[in-house]
Structure 1
Amino acid sequence: MIFAGSMIQGFAMAVFLFPHAIPSGGAAGLAVLLNYWFQLPMSIGLWLMNFLFLITSIQYLGKISAVGTIGVITTTAVSVNFFEVYFRSPFENIWLDLLIGSIFLGLGITLLLKQRVSNGGIGFVALALSKQKKVDPGKALFWMNGFIFLLTAVVINWQIVIQALLCQWLSTRIVSWLYRVSFPPVLQMAWRNKRDG
C-alpha cells in the first residue's frame, strides 16, 4: 500500500500537475522554484526538498516511520521521473488536468496516511497533528502548503498559485473524505487472511 500510494502521487504530479507548473504541495512548490531558477529536474528537486523537511522533523519520527518516509519520497521522486518521460496527459487541458491530478494526489496521500507513513516532510507534520491534536490531516496539509504557496508567489505568477491552492483544496478534500472511510469487516478479514495465508 505504501508503494502504491507513492506511485499514485508521483503519477498525479508528473502527468497532470507538473506539466502546468502546478505544485502539489509545499516541497513541490519549492521544487518548482528550483526548476525555474536552476533548471533542476523536478524529481531531484522534489526529493531534495522532501529530504530536507524530513531531516528537520526526524526528532519526532520513530525509526520505522523515518525509514518509511525516506522510501516514500524516493519512490515518489523516481516515479515522477519515470512518468514525466513515458506518459502524457490525454487531455492537455489545464483545468481537467488539475481536477484529475488532484483526485489521484488525494488518493495517493490517503493510502500513505492510512499506513501511518508520511507522504513527505510536511505530510508528517500533518500526521503528527492528526495524532496529537486530533486535527483533520487534510485541513492541516491545506493550510501549511497554502502558506508555502503564498511565500513563493513573488516568483510564481498568481495564476499558478491560485491553481496550486485549488489543487490543495481538492486533494485535501479527498484525503479528508477517504481518511474517515473504513473497509467493511468482511473486506478487512479477507485482506488479513490473504496477507497471513
Structure 2
Amino acid sequence: MKQFITKGGLVLVGGAFQGFGMGLFLFPQSIPSGGAGGIAILINHGFHISMGLSLWIVNFTMLMLAVKYIGKRFTLWTIMGITVTSLSVTFFASIFSIPYRNLLFDLVVGSVFLGTGIGILMRQGVSNGGVGVIAFIISHGRNILPGKPLFIINCFIFLTTAAIISWEIFFFALVSQWISTTVVDIICRIDSYQPYTLGWRKKT
C-alpha cells in the first residue's frame, strides 16, 4: 500500500510538472511539447478548443489505440498522468500570467520542467501519454532509454505542425525536445531506488 501511495504521488507530481512547463511556458509561445502537443496545437488552431482539453483528447485517443498491447493497469496509470497534466495546463495557463515574456527563457525553462515531469512518470513505469506510449513500448522492447525514440517520432509531427502554422515552430520544437529528452534520460539513469512497477507487459 505504501508503494502504491508513493507511486500515485509521484504520478501526480510528474503530471503537474509537465502541465506547468507546457501551460505556463511552452504553449503560450506555440511551442509543441511533443508529438501530442503538436497535434493539440493544430486542434486548438483549427477548432479553437482549449489546449488542456485538446491535449487530453489526443493523449486519450492514442492510449486507447494501444491498450491491447500495453495492458489495463499501464493504461489506467497513464490516464491518471495525462488527466493531471491536462488539468495542470489549464490551471497554470488561466491562473498565472507572465507580463514580459522572453522566448528563450520560456523555451529552456518549459522544456526542463517538461522533461522532469516525463522522467518522473517513466521512472514509475508510466507513460506521459500520446507518442510517449509508443516510445515506452520501443524502449522496453529494445532495452534502450526512451528519450531517443521519443525524439524521432516527435520530429515527424513537428514538421506537420510547422508546415501548417509556422516553420519557426519546427526549430523551437527541436530545441525543446533535445532539452526535455536529455532531462528524461538523466532521470531514467538514476538508480537510487527501484520504482513500483505496474505489471507492464506485451500482448501475448
Matched, 1:177 2:177: no
Contact 1:17 1:23 in 2 (8 A): yes
Question: Is the deviation greater in 62-71 or in 89-98?
Answer: 89-98
The 1-side partners of 2:20 and 2:31 are apart by: 14
Matched, 1:92 2:101: yes
The 2-side partners of 1:152 and 1:34 are apart by: 10
Matched, 1:167 2:169: no
Which amino acid is the alignment partner of residue 121 of structure 1? G
Q: Which residue of 1 aligns with 2:132?
A: 123
The 1-side partners of 2:125 and 2:100 are apart by: 34
Question: Is the deviation greater in 11-20 or in 58-67?
Answer: 58-67
Q: Which residue of 1 aligns with 2:52?
A: 43
Contact 2:158 2:169 in 1 (8 A): no
The 2-side partners of 1:89 and 1:135 are apart by: 38
The 2-side partners of 1:25 and 1:88 are apart by: 22
Matched, 1:21 2:5: no
Question: Is the deviation greater in 146-155 or in 16-25?
Answer: 146-155
The 2-side partners of 1:28 and 1:121 are apart by: 9
Q: Which residue of 1 aligns with 2:157?
A: 148
Q: How many residues align?
A: 187
The CA deviation at 1:134 is 1.5
Contact 2:162 2:168 in 1 (8 A): no
Match of 1:96, SS state, is: helix
Q: Which residue of 2 aligns with 1:139?
A: 148
Contact 1:12 1:105 in 2 (8 A): yes
Match of 1:154, SS state, is: helix
Which amino acid is the alignment partner of residue 17 of structure 2? I
Which amino acid is the alignment partner of residue 57 of structure 2? L
Q: Which residue of 2 aligns with 1:7?
A: 16
Deviations 1:120-161 (Å, cap 9, x if unpaired)?
Answer: 021121111111112320011100111111122221211112
Contact 2:14 2:118 in 1 (8 A): yes
For 1:68-87, what aligned pairs fall within 5 Å after superposition? 68-87=77-96
Matched, 1:104 2:119: no
TM-score, L = length of structure 1: 0.90
Which amino acid is the alignment partner of residue 158 of structure 1? W
| Identical positions, percent | 44
Contact 1:27 1:46 in 2 (8 A): yes
Q: After TM superposition, which residue ranges in structure 1, 4 or more long, deviate above 6 angstroms?
A: none
The 1-side partners of 2:53 and 2:121 are apart by: 21
Which amino acid is the alignment partner of residue 132 of structure 1? G
The CA deviation at 1:90 is 6.9
Segments of 5+ residues of structure 1 without an aligned counterpart are 193-197
1:158 to 151, 164, 167: 167
Segments of 5+ residues of structure 2 without an aligned counterpart are 1-9, 197-204
Match of 1:92, SS state, is: coil
